[in-house]
Structure 1
Amino acid sequence: MSWKYNTDYPSVDDLRNKAKSKMPRFAFEYLDGGCNEDVNLFRNTSDIRDLELLPYYLKDFKEVSLKTTLFGHTYDAPFGIAPVGLQGLIWPNAPEILAKAAFEHNVPFVLSTVSTSSIESIMKITEGNAWYQLYHPAESHITDDIINRAEASGCKVLVILCDVPSFGFRPRDIRNGLAMPPKMSIRNMLQIVGRPEWALRTLFHGQPAFETMKPYMPKGLNMKQLGLYMNKTFSGRLNAERISSIRDKWKGKLVLKGVATEEDAQMAISLGLDGVIVSNHGGRQLDAGQSSIKPLVPIAEKYKDKITVMMDSGIRSGPDVARTIAAGADFTFLGRTFMYGVGALGNEGGNHTIGMLKTQLKQVMDQLGCERVEDLHKHLSL
């Protein structure tokens, strides 16, 4: 069992370094950074890597299978591509590249409301197998219409986001003009000139825009007006009433992303949701909070038999996937890792990154003597 990947870039660090050399600084820092002092950005990964797994070398062992069943669909690996905002700004055509790779490898791709491709185009690429993440619009008629569009496009899993009641305080983005309202400075323009491949690809694919939101936006907005519109349009704080309303409308699987406490997990169960994604938004929202792996453990222990428990934030590699599942997650999602792959290798970045992660994860499971993903918890060193 092996998967094709570019052996010049066998690690996430290799992809990150290459991507940094090809992206304008403002785009790379938007992708790479956290919020405030980046405490949780780094703690997310370091706390995952504090976990240790036990190898059983003398047990009977046949062959590793990465297949994982989630919401009635059997995926070829226990990880998917997390939603990332402004993907087409980070690398031109990124959501389409990643959605196509996810479909070919039979893993889930999650499209963000504030990414740069529409629901319809991503569902067409994935034949309805992508998931859609909804930022909660303030106006209910927009919410209703987006939900209807997702259903009409064939989407089967809707993800609602609870960890953005306000936009994170991100010093890099403020300096670079990517806060709300955004602005493009002379410095940013010079950075673009210094990254000709990025610039030419952007010229070819067109200026990135919030494609899903286009039908609801007034035409001809300048950058400042766009920022004011986005601030006005989204009301990120969820509550039981809002979630119940979406649960009533959406007939497919419904997942709550951004769960960081047992109390919120319990509420998701009581409201009839199908899954939760334990997450702190990749360390981009609350620097003073816990790392993502810390609440995962008690949530999985307490509620795993009642709801599907997944996790993102801080997972960078195949060994990280193994550790996270061993700690209790049913499934995992990675965001930055895939965007580094696309930034480094363009159209081949999605396939490369999935192949690399599968190879890394299989090697870990081979070493542990673990044949099935669902048995990884037996190898956690307590």
Structure 2
Amino acid sequence: MALDFNTKYPSIDDLRNRAMQRIPRFAFEYLDGGCNDDVNIVRNTSELRDVQLKPNYLRSHHGSSMKTKLFGIEYDAPVGVAPVGLQGLIWPNAAEILAKSAFEHNIPFILSTVTTTNIERASELTEGKAWFQLYHPTEDRLRDDIINRAAAAQCPVLVILCDVPSFGYRPRDIRNGLAMPPKMSLSNILQVMGKPNWAIQTLKHGQPGFANLLPYMPKGLDLKQLGKFMDQTFSGRLNADKIKPIRDMWKGKLVLKGVANEVDVEEAIRLGIDGVIVSNHGGRQLDAGESSIRPLERIAKKYGDQIEVMMDSGLRSGPDIARAMASGAKFTFMGRSFMYGVAALGAKGGDHTISIIKTQLQQVMDQLCCERVEDFPNHLITK
């Protein structure tokens, strides 16, 4: 098995541990934590790993291919980079590193409205192949302008987020001053001083900010005013009346992210949505909710022939991707895993993480005697 990555860090857990050493605690806890008591962040991975797969050892095998078609585009693997807010806080220039790596490995990259690189730069790095995730603005004028920018940047897919009707209650972020409005405490300053490489890179690339929103933000906002601006600018609760004008306006593929039940999928189909990402926001919104694999199983079985069903939340490895695909996902996305890689290894982190995941998934497919990713459900052990 050819290992095309740094063998000191052969797993996502290794990257996570290295990231914890390299970045300030407030940045790591922002990335790593869930909401409330972290119940659902643990459930996401543990219940996904209850899924078991059946190998075939004596069947003829002619090799396995990870190539996957989604919305008419062929990708090299059934995994993409999920949207993450404030990526430059975790590691300077992280969004650009991951966009470039995703493009070079021919997998999708989704840019968040509230991350630290803008639509235009992500499009430039990916030659117009980056997807864009929209946090729904309160004003139609702002909504329309952001969507027009995404269209002008040739984004093939617009993702609208439905699982943030309110911000998750995240005790670590509140304690660290990363709630809205944020603040830089003495403790945080000391943490930065203890991570000189992170501090130097931040000075080099500039203080992270909401790059997509700069055209709309009044100049000279202090932190308290920034928090008020964000609260006034975005309304996370979606409904049919808010989705219809987006569907009418957007000529590309439209995806609803954050779906967690069958009723919302039925509404998405009725509204002409092209795909759904079954997700609980990485366990960061509703601690009392289900893990993502549970609704994924039901939704894929009932609606998989009517709409593209994808999944994120809880996936940390190639075997996890195989489990999700066997359970009915057409495609998967990972957020924290890629961010651990960049925080651990900087500019090399994107390529490294993608290489790990591809290598792991290829090994699983060969072990199962699974020649195509669409054949994963044939290897699912049902209970």
TM over 0.5: yes
Q: Secondary structure at the match of 2:74?
A: strand
For residues 1-382 of structure 1, the aligned pairs below 5 Å read 2=2, 4-382=4-382
Measured in 2, the distance between the counterparts of 1:248 and 1:77 equals 31
Measured in 2, the distance between the counterparts of 1:141 and 1:6 equals 47
Measured in 2, the distance between the counterparts of 1:332 and 1:360 equals 15
* Partners of 1:3 and 1:358 within 8 A in 2: no
Q: Secondary structure at the match of 2:159?
A: strand
Q: Secondary structure at the match of 1:276?
A: strand
Measured in 2, the distance between the counterparts of 1:176 and 1:238 equals 30
Q: Judging changes above 3 Å, is the alpha-carbon distance between structure 1 residues 245 and 53 closer, same or farther for their aligned structure 2 residues?
A: same
Structure 1 residue runs of 4 or more that deviate by more than 6 Å after TM superposition: none
- State the 1:232 CA deviation: 1.0
Measured in 2, the distance between the counterparts of 1:363 and 1:153 equals 36
Measured in 2, the distance between the counterparts of 1:23 and 1:292 equals 29
Measured in 1, the distance between the counterparts of 2:339 and 2:309 equals 24
Q: State the AA in 1 paired with 2:163.
A: D
Measured in 2, the distance between the counterparts of 1:5 and 1:133 equals 30
Measured in 2, the distance between the counterparts of 1:335 and 1:156 equals 20
- State the 1:2 CA deviation: 4.8
Q: Judging changes above 3 Å, is the alpha-carbon distance between structure 1 residues 3 and 102 closer, same or farther for their aligned structure 2 residues?
A: farther
- State the 1:3 CA deviation: 6.0
- State the 1:60 CA deviation: 1.2
Q: State the AA in 2 paired with 1:68.
A: T
Q: Secondary structure at the match of 1:286?
A: coil
Pairs aligned (count): 382
Measured in 2, the distance between the counterparts of 1:264 and 1:2 equals 43
Q: Summarize deviations over 1:88-141 as a string: whole Å, max 9, x none.
A: 001000000000000000000000000000000000100111100000000110
Measured in 1, the distance between the counterparts of 2:184 and 2:231 equals 18
Once the two structures are aligned, what percentage of the paired residues are identical? 69
Structure 1 gap ranges (5+) = none
Measured in 1, the distance between the counterparts of 2:189 and 2:334 equals 30
- State the 1:351 CA deviation: 0.2
Q: State the AA in 2 paired with 1:281.
A: H
- State the 1:216 CA deviation: 0.5
- State the 1:206 CA deviation: 0.2
- State the 1:241 CA deviation: 0.8
Measured in 2, the distance between the counterparts of 1:298 and 1:259 equals 12
Measured in 1, the distance between the counterparts of 2:125 and 2:53 equals 37
TM-score normalised to structure 1 length: 0.99
- State the 1:228 CA deviation: 1.0
Measured in 2, the distance between the counterparts of 1:2 and 1:279 equals 33
Q: Summarize deviations over 1:344-382 as a string: whole Å, max 9, x none.
A: 000000000000000000001111110110000000000
Q: State the AA in 1 paired with 2:362.
A: K
Measured in 2, the distance between the counterparts of 1:137 and 1:104 equals 32
Structure 2 gap ranges (5+) = none
